[in-house]
Amino acid sequence: MAAPDSDTQVSEASSVLRRVFGYDSFRPGQQEIIEHVVAGGDALVLMPTGGGKSLCYQIPALVRKGVGVVVSPLIALMQDQVDALTTLGVRAGFLNSTQHFDERQLVESSFLAGELDLLYLAPERLRAESTLRLLERGDISLFAIDEAHCVAQWGHDFRPDYLALSALHERWPSVPRIALTATATRATHAEIAARLNLEQARHFVASFDRPNINYRITPKKEPRRQLLDLLRREHPGDAGIVYRLSRAEVEKTAAFLTDNGIEALPYHAGLDAPTRAANQARFLREDGVVMVATIAFGMGIDKPDVRFVAHLDLPKSVEGYYQETGRAGRDGLPSTAWLAYGLQDVVQLRKMIDTSEGDDAHRRRLASHLDAMLALCETVGCRRVQLLAYFGQEGAEPCGNCDTCQSPPESWDGTVAAQKLLSTVLRLDRERGQRFGAGQLIDILLGKETPKVLQNRHQTLSVFGVGSDLSEGEWRGVVRQLLAQGLIAVQGDYGTLHLTGASTEVLRGRRQVPLRREPVHQPRPGGGAGDAEAPREGRSARRSRSAAAEELPPEAAPVFERLRAWRGATAKEEGKPAYVIFHDATLRQIAVELPTTLTALSTISGVGESKLAKYGKQVLETLHPGDATEEEEQEHLDFE
């Protein structure tokens, strides 16, 4: 098609990458996508969080003539996105409902005068005829549709606005459209293509692997304590997100962390909007804040230095788990995804499914999502292999960067244990017409004469005490895994256990039950300290500095901390998030290479022309206080 000038456009894309963004090379997939859109093609891009989707439309918008129009539902983040671009020297603006008339007018007239490279719009704007007329009077280089899965998700707030976006093509048939999402499932992919009329577009599906994320799933005992251990041991001073299922747990967990000297803030839909906005702003702007949140928090949060995501309750689906953990480590530096889950989570989620609104088909779908999540939790294989396979990316090698790779769980033959548990359930039902939850069943198996046992005369059952070879924790592990494997079911308000069709096969000895040994020592009655996490290979047991400074050569670490302090002060002064100034990865490289001139500084990844001119001198001064040479002064002038 545009053969004569496509080569020059390609080299222009590389030059923009270097000049504006300060990056040397494209990330996987970026170049192909950018070339395709620059040449005027439509694209549907599936790329994981942190993969670098923004450049896929920002660079084409800078290379092509006209203004790139970006549709994004994340109104609260538009200001930050625009600030980040402005800091890079890109002319950007936004239009949304939070603005005053005057502000809007200013942006509209810059748009019409061709003085913008990128214009961010909330999706509902595009349903207003006035916006469409405005756009018609300007010159548009492309439409980018960010968070495109909003069009596919049933019940999504923005869905009606997104559905209306299919009309863009009719009104602007020659303007290329690029839709982007980090949602990986085939169903969502197909639905986005259909709803946005992108079947004819080229589809780019990147690998969904996030190699820098260390995945860990551990049995839940005292979740807040376990979390605190993790933060103290591995993430002191780091920014992170802690997910909880309920608002009450969010509040409790945030208070617990605060009481223990960790800067933590709550975020959930029950807080008023100003509090939510203020907490989000602090999380984005300050270094090292921990956000404790329900899943209402996180979509579109593009803070690159989130060092950990911790789940203290079981996510409802693998999709949710992947999206939420994906918010860690967008900058590519090592990060942790840690999940603690227990029997109670399974009971609670099953109950939520049983009582959820909607038809049986809907409930079956929810149940199958939960089953997939449980299978991920209970796997003895590599977590990453299983995660990628879930998204249809089969054949990955064991990763070496997840808990099951680092300390492979043993499996053991749990057939007899399963039979003991199942026959207890059966006897109670047959002989006494009773149903109980896991706690009572375990007490019976262990032979504990609790008041509830005595009151129900359970000590007279023939199975009483037959399970004393396992600890209480091990029994909870057995019940949890039987639930995960569908060999037992849970129902009702009290989480009573029931047999399933498959239970019978186990009881009759027709089916073996391989179980996963709990990776941590269970505290046995009277046994001492067995509660610590198993030591992880490849990570120092104790850390005192922030994880971001970890793994730097010892002499570079204090320099990095000095640069970070400078960045913090500058960010505060300019009212921007710290990462908008420079990423941790950039500061680390500066701390290692110790450039002495602006030219040397400009070769560091993340230092583009605009940032060099703006901050170069201050960075050199922070590195080498008080010895600016004439050469530097001269160079500095050249850039002004």
- State yes or no: residue 322 binds ligand ADP (CB under 6 A): no
Q: Map tokens 């603006």 to a residue.
A: 93
How far is Cα 107 from Cα 113, in angstroms, rounded to an integer? 10
- State yes or no: residue 47 binds ligand ADP (CB under 6 A): yes
How far is Cα 640 from Cα 630, in angstroms, rounded to an integer? 16
- State yes or no: residue 73 binds ligand ADP (CB under 6 A): no
Complex with Zn ion: residue 411 or 468, whichever CB lies closer? 411
How far is Cα 375 from Cα 318, in angstroms, rounded to an integer? 10
Chain mean position to CA 241: 9
Site for ligand ADP in 518-557 (CB under 6 A): none
- State yes or no: residue 52 binds ligand ADP (CB under 6 A): yes
In the set 140, 349, 382, 559, which binds Zn ion (CB under 5 A)? 382
Q: Are 132 and 168 in contact (CB under 8 A)?
A: no
In the set 93, 240, 266, 304, which binds ligand ADP (CB under 6 A)? 304
**Residue 405 binds: one of ligand ADP, Zn ion, none (C-beta under 5 to 8 A by kind):** Zn ion
Q: What are the beta bridge partners of residue 241? A: 291, 309
Report the SS3 class of residue 346. helix
* Other beta carbons less than 10 A from residue 562's beta carbon: 15
* Other beta carbons less than 10 A from residue 238's beta carbon: 25
SS (H, E, C) 456-502: CCHHHCCCCCCCCCCCHHHHHHHHHHHHHCCCEEEECCCCEEEECHH
- State yes or no: residue 312 binds Zn ion (CB under 5 A): no
**Residue 304 binds: one of Zn ion, ligand ADP, none (C-beta under 5 to 8 A by kind):** ligand ADP
Complex with Zn ion: residue 302 or 403, whichever CB lies closer? 403
Smallest gap from Cβ 599 to ligand ADP, in A, equals 20
Smallest gap from Cβ 243 to Zn ion, in A, equals 22
Q: Are 460 and 504 in contact (CB under 8 A)?
A: no
In the set 285, 330, 384, 611, which binds Zn ion (CB under 5 A)? 384
* Other beta carbons less than 10 A from residue 289's beta carbon: 19
Smallest gap from Cβ 72 to ligand ADP, in A, equals 11
Q: What are the beta bridge partners of residue 335? A: 213
In the set 26, 243, 321, 322, which binds ligand ADP (CB under 6 A)? 26
Q: Could you tell me how many residues of this chain bind ligand ADP (CB under 6 A)?
A: 18
Instruction: State the angle between helix axes of 630-639 and 609-623 in degrees (0 to 180), rounded to the nearest 10.
Output: 160
In the set 29, 51, 519, 577, which binds ligand ADP (CB under 6 A)? 51
- State yes or no: residue 123 binds ligand ADP (CB under 6 A): no
- State yes or no: residue 611 binds ligand ADP (CB under 6 A): no
Smallest gap from Cβ 213 to Zn ion, in A, equals 11
**Residue 330 binds: one of ligand ADP, Zn ion, none (C-beta under 5 to 8 A by kind):** ligand ADP
**Residue 581 binds: one of Zn ion, ligand ADP, none (C-beta under 5 to 8 A by kind):** none
Q: Cα Rg for the chain, rounded, in angstroms?
A: 28
Complex with ligand ADP: residue 503 or 570, whichever CB lies closer? 570
- State yes or no: residue 384 binds ligand ADP (CB under 6 A): no
How far is Cα 117 from Cα 448, in angstroms, rounded to an integer? 72
Q: Left (φ > 0), alpha (ψ -120 to 50) or beta: where does 261 sit? A: left
Q: Which stretch binds ligand ADP (CB under 6 A): 45-53, 338-346, 507-515, 548-556?
A: 45-53
Smallest gap from Cβ 611 to ligand ADP, in A, equals 12
Question: What's the token pair of residue 85?
Answer: 């671009």
Q: Map tokens 């003895």 to a residue.
A: 380
* Sequence-distant contacts of 32-35: CB under 8 A, at least 24 apart: 32/204, 33/178, 33/204, 34/59, 34/60, 35/6, 35/9, 35/10
**Residue 384 binds: one of ligand ADP, Zn ion, none (C-beta under 5 to 8 A by kind):** Zn ion
- State yes or no: residue 23 binds ligand ADP (CB under 6 A): yes
- State yes or no: residue 337 binds Zn ion (CB under 5 A): no
Query: Which of 582, 614, 625, 619 has its CA nearest to residue 597?
Result: 619
Complex with ligand ADP: residue 13 or 353, whichever CB lies closer? 13
Instruction: State the angle between helix axes of 383-390 and 318-325 in degrees (0 to 180), rounded to the nearest 10.
Output: 120
Residues that bind ligand ADP (CB under 6 A): 23, 26-27, 30, 47, 49-55, 302, 304, 330-331, 583, 605
Tell me which residues touch Zn ion (CB under 5 A): 382, 384, 399, 402, 405
